[in-house]
Amino acid sequence: MTIAEQINQIREELHRHNYNYYVLDRPEISDFEFDQKLKRLIELEVTYPEYDDPNSPTKRVGGGLTSGFETIVHRNRMYSLDNSYSKQDLIDWEKRLQKVVESDISYTCELKYDGASISLTYEDGKLSRAVTRGDGVQGDDVTANIRTMHSVPLQIQPPFPDIFDIRGEIILPLIGFQKMNKIRLANGEEPYRNPRNTASGSLKLQDSREVAKRPLECMLYSIVGAQTLANTQFESLELARKWGFKVPEHNILARTLSEVFEFIEHWDHHRNDLPYEIDGVVIKVNSLKHQEQLGYTSKSPRWAMAYKFQAEQAITILEHISYQVGRTGAITPVANLSPVELAGTTVKRASLHNADQIAKLDVRIGDAVFVEKGGEIIPKIVGVDLAQRKSDTPKVEYITHCPECHSLLLRHEGEAHHYCPNVDQCPPQIIGRIEHFISRKAMDIEGLGGETVTLLVTNQLIDNYADLYTLTKAQLLPLERMAAKSVDNLIEGIIKSKSQPFHRVLFALGIRFVGETVAQNLAKHFKSLDSLIQASQEELVAVDDIGERIAESVRSFFSDSKQLEIVNRLKSYGLQLEAQEAAVPISTLLQGCNIVVSGVFKNLSRDQLKLLIEQHGGKVVSSISSKTSFVVAGENMGPSKLEKSQKLGVSIKSEDEFLSEINAEV
């Protein structure tokens, strides 16, 4: 087999396994085997860059920044849909159809996925372009972002037209949405409001690697330009499915309107069983020939109709408002409700967001309120039934003092939330910061959980996270529910955490707006806590992805003498406050590659070169074997190494070749 054939074979295999995993949810090989194949492909692509392909499965990780999205005129206009809200609307619609179409009309019924629409163009069976809907006539080219989504096939199986468009909806399934919000909350950031806006916002992210991290999916619903391969909408959905697109199985073919009504009723009741949000169903005339006869109005096809569900609402009584204090001191008002059934669960609490929201709704204690449930983690109050309000109900007075420590609350210019400024003594802030410090993505301290933290704080054994490192067995053993074994585990976990790399420590400090990625960027750039502490506002905003707001937050954190004292204590306990150079990855370009470095180099020292290899995911090995991916050779490569690599057929790259392949600037 030639190299090109080998590369193609692995790519096809990976496309197929990717489809089995992400579209069918039926993997045929283990994750490990998949990774091995992917590594092998990366190896081949690195060694033979002449076979590069933008649709290679290795490109799913994203890469490259887009500064402005190019505007593209749609090859076929993207229409919107007419809406209907009742059976009568549909009966009237059918009457209009029957004036144009003489024979019996059947319908395809589909779910109306609630996300952002996208048009994908395939040329020669390969994804060539992805464009947002925009105003329907032209949209933005977001191909790089779409390529990262595993449920979008980069290449499809024949037969296919030379060129065609396929339309779908980019959605964010609920579980993924909730996971993303958990992370945001842990970073002290505002949670995303709903899956739909988050999905459409994701399409416009400038860094496709960020898009790759989001669990987005693409649901397809229409092919434009495949009349030769399908006669009906239903068949074209099956065709799309055969090509490897994700087309949910819930669609049906309805021969009469009453079958359409059954479909609507079923999904109105069962929409919450789906792992993603829908806001209705779409009914389409099935025959493509009929569709052609019916044509379009200036806005929408005459042959399709959206049926919109009522948002699911319940009415119940607002009993009282409680106020939560987060780890950053932000206050969140929560409505406590008389329990009510909504979308299959019992709802007792709803979000009220902030003081402005309460004022806007003018919601009062004892009011009958409308509660709605979308993709949010907790439901929200959308209105008040004023007819039921008693005449003497007073307005809600927003709290002025912290419910936990009674400090006077503050509200910063331009921010929605009130804050408790008593950072050092307000119990939920103390506990919240320590919980964040020990959490899995931060210091990941085994044997220590939220309850234990509360126990330690309430027993006054710790006040801040630095205190963790002075805990002794003698202090812990007398505590309730602390067996000798768990004390040992706890102490061991704390000691082990001292070797967590710098970027994790930085994240663990809990600086507002400094999430995992920001912490990594800061660690990579400043390399040590000391230089980060010294950094000016200008130096901070010069770092990737760091804006004024984050920079200010970092500066204010380190200008607080109490914080500095805690940080200095961490240093004295031996935590990693400097970057271990290799710990900060740049790319996965060399993942799976075993690389030998030999000779003297002109641009870099050997150590710098080795570091660079590790930063791109490669491994530096000392001797050449059949497992060696390639050798980077400088001047005066050792003769025995040269001979061995020739004998084993291991390729040799010059320093320049290597650097240009990994795109490194020196």
Q: Which of 149, 347, 386 is nearest to 244 (CA)?
A: 149
Q: Does 404 bind Zn ion (CB under 5 A)?
A: yes
Residues in contact with Zn ion, total (CB under 5 A)?
6
Give the one residue of 7, 402, 566, 652 binding Zn ion; rule: CB under 5 A: 402
Residue type, 519: A
157 DSSP assignment: P
Q: Does 328 bind Zn ion (CB under 5 A)?
A: no
**Number of Cβ within a 10 Å radius of residue 359:** 12
Q: Which is nearer to ligand AMP, 306 or 371 (CB)?
A: 306
**Number of Cβ within a 10 Å radius of residue 271:** 20
Q: Which of 185, 21, 241, 215 is nearest to 115 (CA)?
A: 215
Helix (H) or strand (E) holding 17: helix 3-22
Q: Does 81 bind ligand AMP (CB under 6 A)?
A: yes
Q: Does 166 bind ligand AMP (CB under 6 A)?
A: no
Task: Please check whether residue 200 is in contact with residue 116, taking contact to mean a CB–CB distance below 8 angstroms.
Answer: yes
Q: Which is nearer to ligand AMP, 245 or 502 (CB)?
A: 245
Cα–Cα distances in angstroms (integers) from residue 438 to residues 351, 433, 495, 507, 567, in the given order: 27, 9, 12, 11, 15
Taking CB under 6 A as the binding criterion, the range among 109-117, 361-369, 510-518, 537-545 that sits at the site for ligand AMP is 109-117
368-372 and 380-384 beta bridge pairing = antiparallel
Look at residue 512 and give the partner it binds from Zn ion, ligand AMP, none, a contact being a CB closer than 5 to 8 Å depending on partner kind: none
Structure tokens at 169: 């909806």
User: Residue with the closest Cβ to ligand AMP?
Assistant: 117
Q: Which is nearer to ligand AMP, 237 or 567 (CB)?
A: 237
Q: Does 220 bind ligand AMP (CB under 6 A)?
A: no
Task: Please check whether residue 46 is in contact with residue 661, taking contact to mean a CB–CB distance below 8 angstroms.
Answer: yes
Quote the Cα angle for 577-459-406, to 5°: 90
How far apart are the C-alpha atoms of 337 and 435, rounded to whole Å? 29
* Cα Rg of the chain, angstroms: 30
Applying the rule CB under 5 A, the residues between 454 and 473 that interact with Zn ion are none
Q: Does 420 bind Zn ion (CB under 5 A)?
A: yes
- Catalytic site positions: 112
Q: Which is nearer to ligand AMP, 200 or 521 (CB)?
A: 200
Task: Please check whether residue 446 is in contact with residue 484, taking contact to mean a CB–CB distance below 8 angstroms.
Answer: no
Q: Does 442 bind Zn ion (CB under 5 A)?
A: no
Q: Does 113 bind ligand AMP (CB under 6 A)?
A: yes
Q: Which is nearer to Zn ion, 9 or 324 (CB)?
A: 324
Give the one residue of 306, 540, 609, 613 binding ligand AMP; rule: CB under 6 A: 306
Give the one residue of 45, 110, 207, 435 binding ligand AMP; rule: CB under 6 A: 110
Instruction: Write down the least CB distance from residue 442 to Zn ion, Å.
Output: 23
Q: Spell out the SS3 assignment of 612-654.
A: HHHHCCCEECCCCCCCCCEEEECECCCHHHHHHHHHHCCEEEE
How far apart are the C-alpha atoms of 637 and 654, rounded to whole Å? 11
Q: Does 409 bind Zn ion (CB under 5 A)?
A: no
Q: Which is nearer to ligand AMP, 274 or 611 (CB)?
A: 274
Give the one residue of 122, 192, 221, 323 binding ligand AMP; rule: CB under 6 A: 221
**Number of Cβ within a 10 Å radius of residue 326:** 16
Q: Which is nearer to ligand AMP, 37 or 133 (CB)?
A: 133
In 3-state terms, what secondary structure has residue 562? helix
Structure tokens at 182: 């958990």
Give the one residue of 80, 536, 556, 559 binding ligand AMP; rule: CB under 6 A: 80
**Contact flags string 33-72 toward ligand AMP, x per CB under 6 A:** ----------------------------------------
Task: Please check whether residue 317 is in contact with residue 296, taking contact to mean a CB–CB distance below 8 angstroms.
Answer: no
In 3-state terms, what secondary structure has residue 179? helix
Taking CB under 6 A as the binding criterion, the range among 49-57, 107-115, 205-213, 256-264 that sits at the site for ligand AMP is 107-115
Taking CB under 5 A as the binding criterion, the range among 122-130, 310-318, 403-411, 497-505 that sits at the site for Zn ion is 403-411
Look at residue 426 and give the partner it binds from Zn ion, ligand AMP, none, a contact being a CB closer than 5 to 8 Å depending on partner kind: Zn ion
Q: Which is nearer to Zn ion, 174 or 325 (CB)?
A: 325
Instruction: Write down the least CB distance from residue 422 to Zn ion, Å.
Output: 5
Residues in contact with ligand AMP, total (CB under 6 A)?
11
Q: Where are the alpha helices (DSSP H) in 149-287?
A: 174-186, 195-203, 208-213, 233-243, 257-270
Applying CB under 5 A, which residues contact Zn ion? Answer: 402, 404-405, 420, 422, 426
Applying CB under 6 A, which residues contact ligand AMP? Answer: 80-81, 110, 112-113, 117, 133, 169, 221, 282, 306
